[in-house]
Copies of this chain bind each other. A is one copy, B any other.
Amino acid sequence: MAERTDEQHAEKMKKKQAAHDRIMAGKTVEKGLLIVNTGKGKGKTTAALGMVVRMIGHGRKVGVVQFVKGAMTTGEKAVFDAFPDNVEFKAMGEGFTWNTQDRARDIALAREAWDEVKRMVADPAYDMVLADELNIVLRYDYLPLEEVLEVLTARAEMKHVVVTGRNAPQGLIDTADLVTEMTLVKHPFREQGVKAQTGIEF
C-alpha cells in the first residue's frame, strides 16, 4: 500500500465508507441477542466480561452465573462489587468437574446454577444474563440441552443472553444470533511454561 498516492488513498477510503454506510443503512433491527463464545482459545469469558462492563457503563443491569469457576478468586468480582445495583454475580460451581470426580454432585450444582439463570432470564430487571461456562455443563450432559434451549428461546425480546465455554453444542449454535470461535494461535502456557497470572487468567 506504500505506493498509493494520498489522492488514491482518499478515493479508496471514500468507496470504503460508502460501502460501510450502505451496509449500516440496512441494519435497523434491535433485539436481544443470544451470544455464544466458544472454541479452544482464550477470551471466551473475558470477552463476555467486556460486554458486562459495557452494559454496566450504560446503567443496565446484568446477571452473571459462573457454572464452573466458583472456587477461583476473580479480579472481575472486585469490579462488579463497585456496581452493586448493576451486577448480580453468582459463583455457583465449586471448581472444575475433574476436581470433584462426583457426577451426582456436579449435576446438582449445574441444576442449582441453571435455576439462577432461569430466574434472571425470567426477571425483566435484567437486561443481560451471562451463563459463564454453561457449554461445559452441557458437554457433560449435566443439563438437558432441550430444556436450556427452550428457556433461552422463550426469553423476552430485548434480553441479551451470553453463553461461554468450549464445545458449544450444535443445537445452541443453531439457535444463537452471534457465535464467535476463539482459536488458539499461540499460547505461553504450552510453549514457554508460563503459569496462570493475575489479571490475565483470573
Distance in Å: Cβ of A96 to nearest Cβ of chain B? 8
| A154 interface hit (Cβ, 8 Å) | no
Distance in Å: Cβ of A26 to nearest Cβ of chain B? 6
* 9-residue interface stretch from A7-15, A63-71, A115-123, A145-153: A7-15
A contact face: mostly helix, strand, loop, or mixed: mixed
| A22 interface hit (Cβ, 8 Å) | no
A194-B30, A200-B33 known; A75-B53 Cβ under 8 A: yes
A2 and B139 CA atoms in complex are apart in Å by 11
Listed from nearest, the 6 A-B pairs whose CB atoms lie closest are: A46-B50, A57-B75, A54-B75, A43-B47, A49-B50, A57-B78
User: Is the CB–CB distance between A193 and B29 below 8 Å?
Assistant: yes
Q: Which of A125-144 contact B (CB under 8 A)?
A: 127-128, 140-141
Copies in the complex: 2
User: Is the CB–CB distance between B160 and A199 below 8 Å?
Assistant: yes
A36 and B183 CA atoms in complex are apart in Å by 12
Partner of A43 from the list B17, B29, B43, B97 (CB cut-off 8 Å) is: B43
Beyond A29-B188, A51-B200, A177-B188, 14 extra complex contacts between A and B, CB < 8 Å:
A6-B104, A17-B101, A26-B193, A42-B180, A47-B47, A49-B50, A54-B76, A54-B200, A58-B199, A60-B198, A82-B83, A160-B199, A177-B192, A178-B187
